[in-house]
Amino acid sequence: MSALILLDYASVLIFALTGALVASRQQLDIVGFAFLACLTAVGGGTLRDVLLDRNPVFWMGNPNYILIACAAALLVFVTAHLVESRYRWLLWLDSFALAVAVPAGVSAAMAMSQSPVIVVLMGMVTGCMGGLMRDVVVGEVPLVLKQGELYVSAAFAGALGGVVAARITDDLLLILGICAALTWALRAGSLAFGWRLPVYRARPPRV
């Protein structure tokens, strides 16, 4: 099994769990759980494959991805009430999903010999778009847009780290490992230690 397939499986599973957790916070029914889990799980990878013109889209070529997402939704549906702080679980699971999805996007673009700019963008798209779709659908402020938090910037840094690593070594596992580690370290640092980027502050014009 290729590294890309493994990354896609892991990304789908963890992002599906986050989608189902959001569904639990919105008190949706089992169909709503499955819908949000699947949307979150395959949203970023779908957009990646469409932009890269990969045919078929990864989950259409292998429907097991959808089955995994639905199984994750069912698991959360019957166990979410046992979790004391579902939002905290959501944040940390989402950070792991991001750290898996960004390398998946990087790997997919590299496999098609795309330019470094496209490789970085595909890493960001794969990592960020599923969660963005999830949050928009339920009417929440997307995690990717929370003030100053390292999310899109973590995805960017991780994907860029993978591109730089590819210039130094041909070891794909090392390249993707660097990408994942850098992505997660920045996102986890934002959650655990409050790392932030400066945000724009409007100031009254001088008289």
Would you give per-residue pLDDT tens digits along the chain (207 residues)?
Answer: 577 788 889 999 999 999 999 999 999 999 999 999 999 999 999 999 999 999 999 999 999 999 999 999 999 999 988 877 888 889 999 999 999 999 999 999 999 999 999 999 999 999 999 999 999 999 988 888 887 889 999 999 999 999 999 999 999 999 999 999 999 999 999 999 999 988 887 676 555
Count of CB atoms situated within 10 Å of the CB of 72? 26
Contacts made by residues 195-202, CB under 8 angstroms, sequence distance 24+? 195/150, 196/147, 196/148, 196/149, 196/150, 197/148, 197/149, 197/150, 197/153, 198/148, 199/147, 199/148
If you ran DSSP here, which 8-state letter would residue 149 be given?
A: B
pTM: 0.92
Backbone φ, ψ for residue 172 (5° rounding): -60, -40
